[in-house]
Amino acid sequence: MSIHLSFKSYSLPFIAAWQSAHERQWQRAGWLVRIAAAGDCGYGDAAPLPAAGTEAPAATVSRLHHWQQRVGQLSAVADDLTAIYAALAELAAAVPSAAPAADCAVETALLDLCAKLRGWPLRGWLSAQAVEIQCIPVNAALGAVSKQTAAAVTASAALGFRVFKLKVGIAPLADELRWLHTVAAALPSDGQLRLDANQAWDVDTAQQAIRALQQADLPIESLEEPLAQPTDAALVALQQQCDFALALDESLARRDWWTAPLTVPVRRVVLKPSALGGLRPTLALAEAALAGGVEVVVTSVLESAAGIWATAQVAAAIIAEQSVLNQTVMPRTLAQGLATSDWLARDLGAAPLVRAGYLHLNDAPGSGFVPHPT
Ligand SMILES: O=C(O)CCC(=O)C1=CC=C[C@@H](O)[C@@H]1C(=O)O
Ligand SMILES: [Mg+2]
């Protein structure tokens, strides 16, 4: 027997341009990683998105070549399981990774394979209690606030979503505030807005935005990455002015979160396994954040179903840990940013089902991802 790692590029069109303050994209490109051993195989998604804190695609592909060679070397001198565990140990030692999207894909494929060989759902490999978690509350990912209509928001609410994520920081603030009022008027009575400025604003604009949102009493659940220069001092001051949570997302990748104790100047962190080097580093960072009373939300990087299944598995593990660790700090489970598969016009396999505002996992061994026949 031997272990074989292969990867195949994919390019999946979006149904409409995905726009943030950082970028505007019409398609999602990446590599589907497959690791075959011991009569089974595991899959991972290498989906670099530099704006979200990953490496550039050229670095992803060169890192995948590295792992292809390394897995071959390991399997030449050990039995399959020993070689798989050795590769997982090398991945763990590589954190913080210089190519987190590639490392995430290889780790995911190995964990998917290990879980399948044991007959466990992948989340059970990450946390024993997580097997119980079958449903994960998710937010609607609506896109840029400028593109919303009352009808679209009503339709999304009718699907069961209660948290609606919007991109801001793209158009002038006065226009975006006007559009936010229109969206808010179309929300169900218990609906909330999750905003993401993707580092668009200077401190003055961010303060102005927060003041206007609070004065208008809009139902803001949180605001991700308000500042172009996200210094701790500026973020602490801004969070003090806010009734709602501010969140770190893409700026997290540039923090020394692995060797130093985790200090977070805002109430929430948004974790993306592709930007953090894998599912286990994401779980470790989540545990450190939760232990410090920081809220945790896991989101996709708009990757294929191979990545969404795996990201949902680690989100379930974090939710399970959270209820054990931190019941009082985290009284309710926050909506996770995993409902992005509908942005893709086609996919590499069936994405997890999203119904009534929840993503549904199953008990199938592994991540749950099954590729479409090619
Ligand atoms: O959080 C969600 O609901 C979906 C994911 C999402 O919004 C993002 C994924 C990847 C890059 C960004 O455009 C954006 C984000 O910054 O959170
Ligand atoms: Mg974000």
pLDDT tens, position by position, 78-105 = 999 999 999 999 999 999 999 999 999 9
Domain boundaries, the chain: 4-119, 126-360
pTM: 0.96
DSSP 8-state assignment for residue 342: G
Tell whether ligand 1 has an atom less than 6 A from the beta carbon of residue 196.
yes
Averages of pLDDT over each 10 residues, the chain, 374 residues:
92 97 96 96 98 97 98 93 95 94 98 97 95 95 96 95 98 98 96 98 98 97 97 97 97 82 91 97 93 93 98 96 62 88 98 97 97 92
Question: Catalytic annotation on 165?
Answer: no
Binding residue per annotation — 224?
yes
Instruction: Identify the residue whose C-alpha is closest to ligand 1 atom 12.
Output: 52
E strand map for 204-244: 220-224
- The rounded distance, in Å, linking the Cα atoms of 76 and 3 is 9
Convert 1-32 into a string of H (helix), E (strand) and C (coil).
CCCEEEEEEEEEEEEEEEECCCCEEEEEEEEE
Who contacts 134 (Cβ-Cβ below 8 Å, separation ≥6)? 360, 361, 362
User: Phi and psi (nearest 5°) for 152?
Assistant: -65, -40
Contact 201, 238 (CB under 8 A): no
Instruction: Enumerate helices (H) and strands (E) in the chain, giving the number of each.
Output: 11, 13
- The rounded distance, in Å, linking the Cα atoms of 302 and 343 is 8
What pLDDT score does 325 carry? 63
Q: Which CATH number applies to 126-360: 3.30.70.1230, 3.20.20.70, 3.20.20.120, 3.40.640.10?
A: 3.20.20.120
Binding residue per annotation — 80?
no
ipTM of the shown complex: 0.99
What pLDDT score does 326 carry? 56
pLDDT tens, position by position, 203-240 = 999 999 999 999 999 999 999 999 999 999 999 999 99
From 8, 116, 147, 272, the catalytic residue: 272
Tell whether ligand 1 has an atom less than 6 A from the beta carbon of residue 141.
yes
| Residues forming a β-bridge with 220 | 193
- Equal CATH topology for 4-119 and 126-360: no
Length of the chain: 374
225-260 core/surface letters (b: 16 or more CB in 10 A; e: else): bbbbebeeebbeebbeebebbbbbbbbbbebebeee
Q: Ligand 1 mean position to 193 CA, how many Å? A: 14
Contact 369, 334 (CB under 8 A): no
What pLDDT score does 328 carry? 46
Binding residue per annotation — 243?
no
Cis (ω within 30 of 0) for the bond into 96?
yes
Give helix 57-77 / helix 80-93 axis angle, nearest 10°: 140
Q: Which sign does the torsion angle of CA 146, 295, 104, 356 carry? A: negative
The span from the first CA to the last CA of the chain, in angstroms, equals 25
Closest CA to 146 of 116, 188, 176: 176
What pLDDT score does 329 carry? 44
DSSP 8-state assignment for residue 263: -
Q: Ligand 1 mean position to 92 CA, how many Å? A: 25
> Given the structure tokens 């401190």, which residue do they identify?
203
Question: Catalytic annotation on 272?
Answer: yes
Tell whether ligand 1 has an atom less than 6 A from the beta carbon of residue 104.
no
What pLDDT score does 101 carry? 98
Q: Top-level CATH class of 4-119?
A: alpha beta
Tell whether ligand 1 has an atom less than 6 A from the beta carbon of residue 302.
yes
